[in-house]
Amino acid sequence: MNHIYRVVWNSVMGTWQAVAECARGRGKSRSVKPLLAAALLVLAGAGQSQAAGILPTGGSVVAGSGNISQSGNAMTINQASNRLAIDWQSFSVGAGNTVNFVQPGASAVALNRVLGADVSSIQGAIKANGQVFLINPNGLLFSPTSQVDVGSLVASTLNMRTADFMAGHYTFEGASSNAVVNQGNITAVGDGAKGGTIALIAARVSNDGALSANGGNVLMAAGGNVTLDLGGPVKLEVSQGALNAQVDNGGGVRADGGLVYLTAKAVNELTSATVNNTGAIRAQTLASGAKGELRLIADMQHGVLNVGGSLDASAPKGGDGGLIETSGARVNTLPDLAINAGAAAGRGGGMAD
């Protein structure tokens, strides 16, 4: 069901807050991420054992044009074509190391697909002036020391066919049950005029770090078949679920004037799909008037949304407040939930779907 709120001003806290019109019982706060906790332990152990001091290995260009070079603790991928696909034996970046993508422009895309058996552990830096796709069915971990500064980033444990990528058809599919976990800092700046996109796609997705894409999009999707369209207004569709699909945000997410979208889809009625938020999600209205959107949507037939933390689609610099949607077959509001869609001068935002 959709959870609908009315917004009231809290004079003690100095902020707008939401009161559920169909309030559910608010019992004791409980842990909402046991599955991802186990996945995180596995990824963290693998990352610590293999990533210190290393760079990606076994890179081979399979489509497009470009070259790979290394000097000391830095690797550079020089991309000559607008689309470049590279298969790697491993793709990890040790602490203090850097991988640089030098691309023709902000619209250029580099697909990096891992064929080996190791988790990708990013403890160092990844930099790009365009879009970087990183695919590893074994799992991806961005550690607390990681720093990613790109035009856009897509990180997934689901595979993408080279032909689809080269044609601009971004379909992610596969049977991997492994996770994409971010504990670091990922920033997508787009092309300067339009914000970039951060998309984390897997059966299980977790963010306890910082994701920032002002004027752009932050997308976290759990499923088994996901289509991503970056051509115009960004669209993401989960057409097939995953076993125990789960998205968990306990960190900070910011996309002022843009879209934050968290979603999970179950395989069938015997499996679960859960979206948890205990972190701070913000998509405020920009001074230009561009409104933000926050959408937290669990499977509408079999999904559970546990929503706490803070959801902020306010308009403190003028204009109207943005949209906040929280939907699922079951929606649980946690005791610490604070929602702000107020406006300093314009109209307050919407609090439903």
Domain layout of the chain by residue ranges: 57-351
Q: Which residues contact 117 (CB under 8 A, 6 or more apart)?
A: 138
The pLDDT tens digits for 310-343 are 999 999 989 999 999 999 999 999 999 999 999 8
Question: Residue 37: which pLDDT band, with cuts at 50, 70 and 90?
Answer: low
Lowest average pLDDT, out of 25-34, 173-182, 231-240, 313-322, goes to: 25-34
Q: Bigger pLDDT: 159 or 35?
A: 159
Question: Residue 9: which pLDDT band, with cuts at 50, 70 and 90?
Answer: very low
Residue 47 phi/psi, 5-degree rounding, is: -65, -45
Question: Residue 1: which pLDDT band, with cuts at 50, 70 and 90?
Answer: low
Question: Residue 16: which pLDDT band, with cuts at 50, 70 and 90?
Answer: very low
Computed over every residue of the chain, the mean pLDDT equals: 88
Please report the pLDDT score of residue 339 as a whole number.
Answer: 94
Mean pLDDT of 103-108: 97
Q: Bigger pLDDT: 138 or 45?
A: 138
Query: Does the pLDDT value for residue 15 go beyond 80?
Result: no
Please report the pLDDT score of residue 348 as a whole number.
Answer: 74
Please report the pLDDT score of residue 346 as a whole number.
Answer: 77
Start-to-end CA span in the chain (Å): 10
The pLDDT tens digits for 53-62 are 699 999 999 9
Please report the pLDDT score of residue 138 as a whole number.
Answer: 97
Mean pLDDT of 228-237: 93
Question: Residue 32: which pLDDT band, with cuts at 50, 70 and 90?
Answer: very low
User: What is the reported pTM?
Assistant: 0.88
Question: Residue 13: which pLDDT band, with cuts at 50, 70 and 90?
Answer: very low
Percentage, residues of the chain above pLDDT 70: 84
| Parallel, antiparallel or unpaired: strands 280-282 and 140-142 | unpaired
Mean pLDDT of 213-219: 98
DSSP 2: B
Q: What is the 3-state secondary structure (H, E, C) of the chain?
A: CECCEEEEEECCCCEEEEEECCCCCCCCCCCCCHHHHHHHHHHHHHHHHHCCCCCCECCEEEECCEEEEEECCEEEEEECCCEEEEEECECCECCCCEEEEECCCCCCEEEEEECCCCCEEECCEEEECCEEEEECCCCEEECCCCEEEECEEEEECCECCHHHHHCCCEEEECCCCCEEEECCEEEECCCCCCCCEEEEEECEEEECCEEECCCCEEEEEECCEEEEECCCCCEEEEEECECCEEEEECCEEECCCCEEEEEECECCCCCCEEEEECCEEECCCCCCCCCCEEEEEECCCCEEEEECCEEECCECCCCCCCEEEEECCEEEECCCCEEECCECCCCCCECCC
Domain at 57-351, CATH from 3.40.50.620, 1.10.10.60, 1.10.630.10, 2.160.20.10: 2.160.20.10
d(CA 106, CA 191): 5
Please report the pLDDT score of residue 38 as a whole number.
Answer: 52
The pLDDT tens digits for 288-308 are 999 999 999 999 999 999 999
Question: Residue 193: which pLDDT band, with cuts at 50, 70 and 90?
Answer: confident
Query: Does the pLDDT value for residue 34 go beyond 60?
Result: no
Percentage, residues of the chain above pLDDT 90: 78
Please report the pLDDT score of residue 14 as a whole number.
Answer: 38
The pLDDT tens digits for 43-88 are 555 555 455 569 999 999 999 999 999 999 999 999 999 999 999 9
75-99 per-residue burial string, b: 16 or more CB within 10 A, e: under 16: bebebebbbbbbbbebbbbbbebbb
